[in-house]
């Protein structure tokens, strides 16, 4: 008997067809059954939400959180998504040095600083962020950061690459 419900088996089958093998985190999340389904639905809802934060910046946020949490799987995946969203490789490579890099705009730096503070459980500069975005956008951004933290910390804790 497979440890996976039918909808996870379908996802695994699709990943095998697409990538040649299932993604390792799927095999672990899949053991949680409906929680894995809700995890995927939450991600889809966050990515489909209308927001003022451009996709290119969202993917940089996800990549930065992944790098801070030292999740190589998430870093690789999100770096590729960041490239697909229009970010160049130099910008992605310099993410951990965003504060001192001229590759990033002031608004990008504000968002990345917020993502870093949330990830490291430090006091975040909401005042600076509120000068750029409305409350709804900040809530959506915070949810995306929290989701990426959950995902990357799950993978890192279990040693998933």
- Per-domain residue ranges for the chain? 6-48, 55-157
Reading the block at residue 53, the tokens are: 């934060």
CATH number of the domain at 55-157, out of 3.30.530.20, 1.20.1250.20, 1.10.1740.10, 1.20.1290.10? 1.20.1290.10
Taking only the tens place, the pLDDT of each residue in 73-110 is 999 999 999 999 999 999 999 999 999 999 999 999 99
pTM of the shown model: 0.93
Reading the block at residue 92, the tokens are: 């992605």
Full pLDDT tens readout for the chain, 161 residues: 578 999 999 999 999 999 999 999 999 999 999 999 999 999 999 999 889 999 999 999 999 999 999 999 999 999 999 999 999 999 999 999 999 999 999 999 999 999 999 999 999 989 989 999 999 999 999 999 999 999 999 999 999 96
3-state SS assignment for residue 84 = helix
3-state SS assignment for residue 106 = helix
Reading the block at residue 134, the tokens are: 């409305």
């Amino acid at each position: 008997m497979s440890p996976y419900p039918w909808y996870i088996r379908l996802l695994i089958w699709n990943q095998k067809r697409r990538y040649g093998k299932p993604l390792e985190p799927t095999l672990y999340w899949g053991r949680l059954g409906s929680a894995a389904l809700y995890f995927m639905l939450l991600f889809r809802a966050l990515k489909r939400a209308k927001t003022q934060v451009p996709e290119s910046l969202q993917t940089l946020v996800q990549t930065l959180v992944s790098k801070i949490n030292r999740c190589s799987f998430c870093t690789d995946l999100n770096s590729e998504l960041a490239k697909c969203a229009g970010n160049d490789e130099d910008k992605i490579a310099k993410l951990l040095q965003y504060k001192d890099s001229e590759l990033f705009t002031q608004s990008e730096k504000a968002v990345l600083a917020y993502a870093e503070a949330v990830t490291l459980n430090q006091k975040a500069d909401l005042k600076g962020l509120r000068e750029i975005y409305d409350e709804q956008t900040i809530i959506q951004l915070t949810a995306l950061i929290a989701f990426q933290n959950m995902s990357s910390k799950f993978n890192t804790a279990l040693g998933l690459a």
